[in-house]
A and B are shown apart, each in its own frame.
Chain A
Amino acid sequence: MSRFIFSFGIFFLIWLGFTSSFHYQEVIVGAFLSLILAFLSYKSFTERGLFYLNPKRLFYIIKYLAVFTIALVKANFDVARRVINPKLPINPGIVTYHTSLKSDTAKMFLANSITLTPGTLTVDVIDDKLYIHWIDVISEDPETIYNEIGKDFEEILKEIFR
């Protein structure tokens, strides 16, 4: 039931965003369509439903978004720096990253965040290993890899998905 309400809420918010109108006809049609969609897809849409709407988790989600935005901007300046420099300062390679996250959704968010942070691109995720293309391999030591690539995200995601 909580999964159903969660899916309905998300679909209804998307409908409101795209129509950008609170006229009662729009809202009724939107609610009706969201009900049908949520009924058809709630099983595959979310695993844990309203689980995320707890104040502590919401706080960590906002923190995550802030950290993510800063990392994204940094990543772009990093790319710009490497591209503009005539010497092209890169030393690429693929490294293994060990994660302690269990849930699939958490791993997906971690992989996506790593792709958008400075100098890294997730090539594959197999069980608890992430294979990451790193444009400037500083070291192959697992501890350094963990600290350099995903420590910030992993700590926040652990709190969100606990």
Chain B
Amino acid sequence: MILNILGNVLITIGVIFLFLGALGIFRMPDVYSRMQAGTKATTLGALSTVIGVGILQPEWFWKTLLIAIFIAISNPISSHALARGSHKIGIKPFMKKEGLDSYENVSIEEEK
């Protein structure tokens, strides 16, 4: 009974954060800020949903835990690869104040 409630609460939290992540992708001004919202919200959203399912179905718990570990390791790596790729093809980050892009010159030096 307690496990049932705990599982459902975790799934609800996960779904709320996944929704907020989607809203963030919709509202943010450029690709990097969108990725920020996307990465963090989807990581916690997916972790919480998957572990919630594991608690509702105790025989799946260890499987869902392994899936959660895999998500926690692979999600930031993929977002790093996407951000680096976007910078390499020349997408400028949105900035309110000029000159905050310390990565700009590095990319040019590496290409030479």
Contact = CB atoms under 8 A, between A and B. Distances in A.
A131 B59 CA distance: 43
A7 interface: no
Contact of B63 (A17, A75, A124): A17
Interface string A120-162: 1111101000010101010010000000000000000000000
A141 B63 CA distance: 45
Which residue of A83, A88, A95, A126 has the most chain B CB atoms within 10 A of its CB atom?
A83
Nearest to B58: A20
Contacts of B87: 123-124
A79 B41 contact: yes
Contact of B93 (A16, A18, A133): A133
A70 to B, nearest CB: 12
Contact of A93 (B62, B73, B101): B101
A115 B97 contact: no
Contact count band on A: 35 or more
A87 B34 CA distance: 16
Interface string B86-99: 01000001111100
Contact of B102 (A80, A121, A131): A131
Contacts of A119: 36
Contacts of A135: 33, 36
A20 B83 contact: no
Interface of B: 17, 20-21, 23-24, 27-30, 32-33, 35-37, 39-41, 43-44, 59-63, 65-66, 72-73, 75-77, 79-80, 83-84, 87, 93-97, 100-104, 106
Task: Return the 7 tightest CB-CB contacts between A and B, nearest first.
Answer: A93-B100, A115-B76, A17-B62, A131-B103, A112-B76, A83-B24, A94-B103
Given A75-B40, A90-B33, 16 more contacts: A17-B65, A18-B66, A79-B40, A82-B24, A82-B37, A83-B28, A90-B28, A91-B96, A115-B39, A116-B72, A116-B76, A119-B36, A121-B36, A121-B39, A131-B103, A133-B33
